[in-house]
């Protein structure tokens, strides 16, 4: 090869080494293709609430809380937490039939979920239909035999269904599982009091009222039991701890009339307390 040919060959080799293969031979590759047009960003749809937002919903009033959980259910009908939250909010709003309907829908989605079964039982109890609370209560007890809430609710369900022997058994089971739970002890005490066992009821309620988790309900139930025994001064002292003066006056008037008639069965229904145990 002559010198000029060798120099030309060297220049060609250097040119090929410094360029992409396709470009070196005049071919167009991907690098030369026009950039695809950018797709316009789509607006994001409604998003489910965060865990923090859900936790904060407990501070809302019942109506706002129901609206919050209804929105969550609309976004995802299979969201069990949202469904339970909606059923509970409806129950707290005084709409037990709607709460039961919401819980029934959850039971179809998750028939083996303990929380769903418990909420369904509560909904039926809140509408005074304890008979229909028995089945979900039993199922919850089977799914979680160590959970005191199932026999606690079952006891009330059996009471509403007028099945006293089963109610007493469920009450005792709940006490066995949660011996220091004020609500459990208070419910058993009121069951006993309604059947004339006031001494046993008083002992249970005095213990319940001293427990760390005791609420005003235990004290007011004790006031009721004392008043029905004619011990109005003790009953009044307890009542004034939690109730406004007019409500105390109404309660004392009821107790005087009840004590005069020696009526104990079912007396608690006319007593103005401060809420339910559950």
Q: Is residue 80 assigned to a domain?
A: no
Tell me which long-range contacts 251-257 makes (C-beta under 8 A, separation of at least 24): 251/223, 251/224, 251/227, 252/227, 255/224, 255/227, 255/228, 256/232
On the question of pLDDT at 125 being above 70, the answer is yes
Instruction: Tell me the pLDDT band of 40, cut-offs 50, 70 and 90.
Output: low
pLDDT at 35: 56
Estimate to the nearest angstrom the gap between the alpha carbon of 94 and the chain centroid.
Answer: 15
Whether 33 is covered by a domain: the verdict is no
d(CA 278, CA 273): 13
pLDDT band at 278 (very low <50, low <70, confident <90, very high): low
Residue 257 lies in a domain: yes
pLDDT at residue 31 is higher than 70 = no
Least confident of 20-29, 32-41, 78-87, 146-155: 20-29
pLDDT value at 179 more than 60: yes
Identify the pLDDT of residue 143. Answer: 98
Convert the pLDDT of each residue in 254-270 to its tens digit: 998 887 775 444 444 44
For residue 178, being part of any structural domain is answered with no
Is the pTM of the predicted complex or chain greater than 0.85? no
Q: Which domain holds residue 217?
A: 203-273
pLDDT value of position 16: 34
Q: Which of 12-26, 97-111, 223-237 is predicted with the least confidence, judged by mean pLDDT? A: 12-26
How far is the first Cα of the chain from the last one, in angstroms, to the nearest whole number? 103
Written as one string, the DSSP assignment of 115-139 is: HHHHHHHHHHHHTT-HHHHHHHHHH
Q: What is the mean pLDDT of the chain?
A: 84
pLDDT per residue as tens digits for the range 183-232: 999 999 999 999 999 999 999 999 999 998 888 999 999 999 999 888 99
pLDDT value of position 8:
36
Whole-number pLDDT of residue 258: 82
What confidence tens digit (pLDDT) does each residue in 238-249 have? 999 999 999 999
Q: What's the total number of domains in the chain?
A: 1
213 belongs to a structural domain: yes
**Which residue has 């009044």 as its token pair?**
236
DSSP 77: T
Q: For residue range 135-173, what is the model confidence (pLDDT) as tens digits?
A: 999 999 999 999 999 999 999 999 999 999 999 999 999
- What per-residue confidence (pLDDT) applies to 257? 87
Using an 8 Å Cβ cutoff, are 87 and 106 in contact? yes
User: Does residue 216 sit within a domain?
Assistant: yes
pLDDT score recorded for residue 14: 33
**Helix spans in the chain (H):** 3-17, 21-24, 51-56, 62-75, 80-92, 96-109, 114-126, 130-143, 149-160, 164-177, 182-193, 198-210, 216-228, 232-239, 245-260
174 occurs within a structural domain: no
């Amino acid at each position: 090869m002559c010198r000029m040919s060798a120099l030309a060959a060297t220049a060609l080799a250097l040119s090929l080494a410094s360029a992409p293969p396709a470009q070196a031979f005049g071919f167009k590759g991907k690098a030369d293709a026009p950039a695809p047009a950018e797709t316009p960003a789509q607006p994001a749809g409604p998003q489910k609430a965060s865990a923090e937002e859900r936790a904060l919903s407990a501070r809302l009033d019942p109506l706002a809380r129901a609206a919050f959980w209804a929105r969550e259910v609309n976004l995802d009908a299979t969201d069990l937490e949202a469904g339970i939250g909606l059923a509970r909010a409806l129950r707290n709003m005084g709409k037990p039939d709607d709460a039961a309907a919401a819980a029934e829908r959850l039971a179809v989605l998750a028939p083996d979920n303990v929380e769903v079964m418990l909420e369904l039982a509560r909904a039926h109890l809140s509408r005074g239909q304890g008979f229909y609370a028995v089945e979900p209560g039993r199922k919850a007890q089977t799914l979680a035999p160590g959970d005191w809430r199932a026999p606690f609710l079952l006891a009330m369900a059996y009471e509403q269904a007028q099945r006293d022997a089963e109610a007493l058994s469920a009450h005792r089971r709940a006490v066995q599982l949660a011996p220091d739970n004020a609500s459990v002890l208070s419910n058993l005490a009121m069951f006993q009091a309604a059947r004339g066992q006031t001494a046993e009821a008083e002992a249970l309620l005095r213990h319940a009222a001293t427990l760390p988790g005791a609420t005003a309900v235990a004290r007011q139930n004790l006031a009721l039991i004392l008043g029905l025994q004619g011990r109005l001064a003790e009953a009044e002292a307890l009542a004034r701890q939690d109730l406004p003066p007019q409500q105390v006056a109404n309660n004392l008037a009821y107790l005087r009339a009840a004590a005069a008639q020696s009526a104990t069965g079912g007396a608690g229904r006319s007593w103005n307390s401060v809420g339910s145990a559950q």
